[in-house]
């Protein structure tokens, strides 16, 4: 692929940008030890035509790069950690220093948050029901953006003495079903017994307001009784309210850095069962397209997949040893992952391969979040950067 340097008026003042293949490890690098199995090919009829040794087909913009830098009004000192939306014209991004931005289909506008926390995750059930989370005392809800303005309503965890506990993940299925994943915390329950947890669920009042139940606070989700290791929940994703995956780390127990929990309906609640991740490297992000197509990525370029008939997570060949911070999939043969040193890789139904991106000259920013409204509208955020993918060159649809 031709490499070139070009000027771009973007996030960095008078920036110049370098076109590069965004996979920090070269094609000859071996995957982490033990991560050497091959995922089965995509189902017949899927679009999985890329050669295993080739980069992902490049897009039409950025002089040949697949991913183009997009200007925003976010401070160049901000690290954007999360991105999520409901469609092409309604996308939220957030990160360090209380940074929040909204995209309306044309322009990224900053939304003042009034805090200096680092936002780690975003989720919503609709354009009018969106959460941005940083810590137990820095959880915000918005009913949507109007141009460059939005009302952010604080909804902190109250009365548990867990202020400052970092929130890493949020996921739900409806306005009445929202779950947070956090650092390990301890609190006193109503009987003044010490309890331990790393999740919160949204409590709702029973009054209703004509548009559904209203938020009245967050309830802790305690561990089972007995001694429990310190557990950090880094990511949550599910295909339904009774099929939820959680990536966790239990740092005070050797060999428990990559714990995967599966939540299923049990006695009117959610019963968690541990499923072997086959990884000793922490897993940071989970995403999938169905209950039988779930992906997880993490440290050292680790990639795992859980599919139909699996009893444990399957090892997947990775073209990088850089830590992967986020994964997003639109289909079983269209999966993206991003991470350190500008790493962007794509799965076409057969293998993961490096993609190309326009990046600031002289540095390769860490990429933390990825989300798309579809296969040809995918966004990445990271260290003072926003990237956009609009599909392979010469194509108006389909996957790369």
pLDDT tier at 370, thresholds 50, 70, 90: very high
Q: Look at residue 61 in the predicted model and tell me its pLDDT.
A: 52
Q: Which one has a higher pLDDT value, 383 or 5?
A: 383
Name the CA dihedral angle for 17, 108, 328, 201, rounded to a multiple of 10 degrees: 140
12 alpha carbon, distance to own chain's centre: 24
CB 139 within 8 Å of CB 160: no
3-state helix, strand, coil in the chain (%, to 5): 5, 50, 45
> CB-based burial of residue 14 (10 Å sphere; 0-12 exposed, 13-18 middle, 19+ buried)?
exposed
pLDDT band at 21 (very low <50, low <70, confident <90, very high): low
DSSP strands (E only) in 14-107: 16-21, 68-69, 80-87, 90-95, 100-103
Distance from C-alpha of 52 to C-alpha of 392, rounded to nearest angstrom: 17
pLDDT at 46 over 90: no
pLDDT at res. 14: 34
Residue 1: pLDDT band by 50, 70, 90 thresholds?
A: very low
pLDDT reported for residue 383: 98
Q: 1.10.260.40, 3.40.50.300, 3.30.450.20, 2.130.10.10: which CATH number matches 5-389?
A: 2.130.10.10
Provide the pLDDT for residue 22.
57
| pLDDT-above-70 percentage for the chain | 75
Q: What is the pLDDT of residues 62-116, one digit of tens each?
A: 778 999 999 999 999 999 999 999 999 999 999 999 999 999 999 999 999 999 9
Cα separation, 175 vs 75, whole angstroms: 32
Give residue 27's pLDDT band: very low, low, confident or very high (50, 70, 90): very low
Which tens digits make up the pLDDT trace of 64-78?
899 999 999 999 999
Confidence of residue 399 (pLDDT cuts 50, 70, 90): very low
pLDDT for position 115: 97
pTM of the model: 0.83
pLDDT digits 0-9 by tens, 178-233:
999 999 888 766 665 667 789 999 976 533 333 333 345 898 887 654 456 788 99
pLDDT at position 26 is 36
- pLDDT at 398 exceeding the cut of 70: no
Please give the residue that has the higher pLDDT: either 36 or 348.
348
CA–CA gap between residue 223 and residue 321 (Å, rounded): 34
């Amino acid at each position: 692929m031709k490499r070139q340097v070009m000027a771009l008026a973007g996030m960095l003042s008078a920036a110049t940008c370098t076109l590069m293949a965004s996979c920090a490890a070269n094609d000859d690098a071996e995957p982490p030890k033990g991560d050497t199995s091959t995922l089965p090919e995509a189902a017949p009829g899927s679009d999985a035509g890329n050669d295993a040794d080739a980069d992902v087909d490049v897009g039409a913009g950025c002089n040949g790069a697949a991913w183009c830098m997009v200007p925003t009004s976010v401070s160049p000192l901000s690290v954007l950690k999360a991105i999520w939306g409901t469609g092409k014209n309604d996308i939220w991004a957030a990160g360090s220093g209380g940074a929040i931005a909204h995209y309306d289909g044309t322009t990224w506008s900053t939304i003042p948050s009034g805090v200096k926390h680092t936002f780690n995750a975003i989720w919503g059930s609709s354009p009018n029901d969106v959460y941005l989370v940083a810590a137990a005392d820095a959880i915000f809800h918005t009913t949507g953006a109007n141009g460059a303005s939005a009302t952010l309503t604080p909804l902190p965890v109250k009365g548990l003495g867990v202020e400052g506990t970092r929130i890493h993940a949020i996921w739900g299925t409806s306005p009445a079903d929202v779950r947070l994943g956090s650092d390990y915390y301890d609190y006193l329950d109503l009987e003044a017994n010490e309890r331990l947890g790393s999740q919160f669920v949204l409590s709702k009042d029973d009054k209703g307001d004509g548009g559904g139940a209203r938020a009245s606070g967050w309830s802790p989700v305690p561990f089972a009784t007995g001694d429990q290791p310190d557990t950090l929940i880094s990511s949550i994703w599910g295909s339904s309210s009774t099929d939820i995956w959680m990536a966790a780390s239990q740092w005070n127990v050797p060999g428990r850095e990559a714990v995967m929990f599966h939540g299923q309906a049990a006695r009117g609640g959610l019963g968690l069962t541990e499923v072997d991740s086959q990884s000793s490297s922490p897993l940071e992000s989970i995403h999938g397209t169905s209950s039988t197509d779930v992906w997880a990525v993490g440290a050292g370029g680790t990639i795992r997949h859980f599919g139909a008939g699996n009893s444990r997570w399957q090892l997947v060949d990775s073209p990088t040893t850089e830590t992967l911070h986020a994964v997003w999939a639109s289909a079983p043969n269209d999966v993206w992952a991003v991470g350190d040193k500008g790493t962007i890789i794509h799965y076409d139904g057969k293998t993961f391969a490096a993609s190309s991106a326009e990046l600031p000259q002289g540095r390769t920013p860490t990429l933390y979040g990825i989300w798309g409204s579809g296969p040809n509208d995918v966004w990445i955020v990271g260290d003072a950067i926003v990237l956009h993918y609009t599909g392979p060159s010469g194509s108006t649809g389909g996957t790369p």
